[in-house]
């Protein structure tokens, strides 16, 4: 981490106070009991932080580092390595369309184009109402049911334009 980033983390942290909900704190305790030491629990705790705060901002990294008795730099390194920890605000629904080989061959590009057209956004963007973010990702391990996408924690497979319309219209 460079000096600029360290300063950004420290400045953001100084101004804010964030904390897991009661439920989150309880889940944290349960996670910590499953690992030999706090450092080993970093990934699941970051997943929990993502659930609680939606984005992993510098302030959240500092908070997680404090919980795990780690230098914030260690947390920053992990967050910057994994794309599944968003550092920018995402929509209530995050659509991840698999664009790897099997899905590509089976029409992932058409899936992306259709969603872009229907939502009026491009890959990497969020709808104006903040509801839906669209992303392209690598293989999600469901190649036999290509083309497919993941919305939050759910998989949607064997996609057709009609099916996509149904799914998107069904999002609350
Ligand atoms: S290639 Fe799309 S899920 Fe594997």
Residues with CB under 6 A from ligand 1: 98, 100-103, 139-143, 146, 148
Does the domain at 93-170 match CATH 3.40.30.10? Answer given as yes
Q: Torsions phi, psi of 65, nearest 5? A: -60, -40
**Span from the CA of 149 to the centroid of ligand 1 (angstroms):** 9
Question: What pLDDT, in 10s, does the model give residues 45-79?
Answer: 999 998 899 888 889 999 999 999 999 999 998 88
Portions of the chain given CATH number 3.40.30.10: 93-170
Question: What pLDDT, in 10s, does the model give residues 100-140?
Answer: 999 999 999 999 999 999 999 999 999 999 999 999 998 99
Ligand 1 pocket: which of 146, 150, 159 to mutate (most atoms <8 Å of CB)? 146
**Span from the CA of 150 to the centroid of ligand 1 (angstroms):** 11
């Amino acid at each position: 981490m460079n000096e600029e980033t360290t300063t950004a983390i420290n400045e953001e942290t100084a101004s804010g106070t964030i904390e897991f909900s009661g439920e989150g704190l309880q889940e944290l305790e349960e996670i910590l009991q499953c690992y030999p030491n706090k450092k080993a629990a970093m990934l699941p705790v970051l997943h929990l932080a993502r659930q609680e705060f939606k984005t992993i901002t510098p302030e959240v990294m500092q908070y997680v580092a404090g919980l795990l008795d780690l230098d914030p730099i260690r947390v920053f390194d992990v967050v910057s390595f994994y794309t599944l920890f968003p550092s920018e605000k995402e929509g209530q629904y995050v659509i991840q369309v698999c664009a790897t080989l099997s899905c590509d061959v089976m029409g992932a590009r058409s899936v992306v184009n259709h969603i872009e057209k229907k939502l009026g956004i491009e890959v990497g963007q969020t709808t104006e109402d903040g509801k839906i973010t669209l992303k392209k990702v690598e293989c999600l391990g469901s190649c036999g049911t290509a083309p497919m996408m993941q919305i939050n924690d759910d998989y949607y497979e064997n996609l057709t334009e009609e099916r996509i319309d149904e799914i998107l219209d069904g999002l609350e």
